[in-house]
């Protein structure tokens, strides 16, 4: 038995059930939020939910096991967030999800498992914050660095597809010109 207690990614039916119920961007645009699975060495599933402009709604980590995966997910995020201090313990919330609340297909998939386990989901949600000059900033993600390297950073809320600090000097942002 491995130290992680046989931790595994949740079955596909369960992953589907874990998708957010209101997939629209919040306070940035009205585009639908898309889910992107991130390649990682963690046993579970890392998913980032962001709009096409890069504004992050939530990043989640789902693992099918008996241990609390919060600290492993936190380490994953810290290595991909600029600055690292943006990853705050208080913004990480863990929840145990059981079969019945996930719907029938997920429940069936969990019931077929050899040993009963729960799906542990950690949610990372960073709320917009204001600079001293009143500029509101929120969390964005940059996908230009490979499937295993989403880069999380803050940019003004009205920015569209802002470049992350790793993308270039100054990490310039482009402002939306559309209404």
Pick 47 or 65: Cβ nearer Zn ion = 47
**Of 22 and 114, which CB lies nearer to Zn ion in the complex structure?**
22
For CA atoms 76, 42, 110, 32, the dihedral sign is positive
Site for Zn ion in 158-177 (CB under 5 A): 164, 166-167
Of 23-31, 41-49, 65-73, 92-100, the segment contacting Zn ion by CB under 5 A is 23-31
Is residue 55 at the binding interface for Zn ion, with CB under 5 A as the rule? yes
State which residue, 49 or 76, has the beta carbon closest to Zn ion.
49
SS3 for 142? strand
Task: List CB contacts of 19: < 8 A, sequence separation 6 or more.
Answer: 35
Tokens of 70: 């919060």
87 vs 151 by CB, closer to Zn ion: 151
| 111 backbone dihedrals φ, ψ, rounded to 5° | -70, -30
Q: Shortest Cβ distance from residue 99 to Zn ion (Å)?
A: 33
Stretch that binds Zn ion, among 8-16, 77-85, 86-94, 151-159 (CB under 5 A): 151-159
28 near Zn ion, rule: CB under 5 A: yes
Q: Are 141 and 56 in contact (CB under 8 A)?
A: yes
Residue 106 or 164 having the CB closest to Zn ion: 164
CA separation for the pair 9, 45 (Å, rounded): 5
For 11, the 3-state DSSP assignment is coil
Residue of 98, 144, 147, 172 that binds Zn ion (CB under 5 A): 144
DSSP 115: S
Chain centroid offset of residue 58 CA: 5
Asked if 29 touches Zn ion (CB under 5 A), the answer is: yes
Binding site for Zn ion (CB under 5 A): 25, 28-29, 51, 53, 55, 142, 144, 151, 164, 166-167
């Amino acid at each position: 038995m491995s130290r992680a207690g046989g931790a595994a990614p949740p079955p596909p039916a369960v992953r589907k059930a874990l998708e957010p119920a209101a997939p629209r961007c919040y306070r940035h645009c009205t585009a639908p939020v898309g889910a992107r699975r991130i390649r990682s060495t963690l046993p579970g599933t890392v998913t980032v939910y962001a709009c096409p402009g890069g504004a992050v709604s939530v990043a989640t980590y789902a693992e099918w096991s008996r241990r609390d995966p919060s600290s492993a997910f936190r380490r994953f995020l810290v290595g991909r967030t600029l600055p690292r201090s943006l990853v705050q313990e208080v913004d990480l919330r863990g929840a145990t999800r059981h079969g019945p609340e996930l719907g029938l297909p997920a429940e069936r998939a969990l019931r077929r498992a050899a040993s009963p386990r729960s799906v542990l989901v950690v949610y990372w949600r960073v709320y917009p914050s204001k600079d001293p000059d009143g500029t509101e900033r929120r969390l964005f993600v940059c996908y230009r660095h490979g499937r295993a390297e989403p880069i999380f950073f803050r940019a003004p809320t009205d920015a569209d597809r802002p470049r992350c600090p790793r993308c270039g000097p100054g990490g310039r942002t482009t402002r939306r010109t559309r209404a």
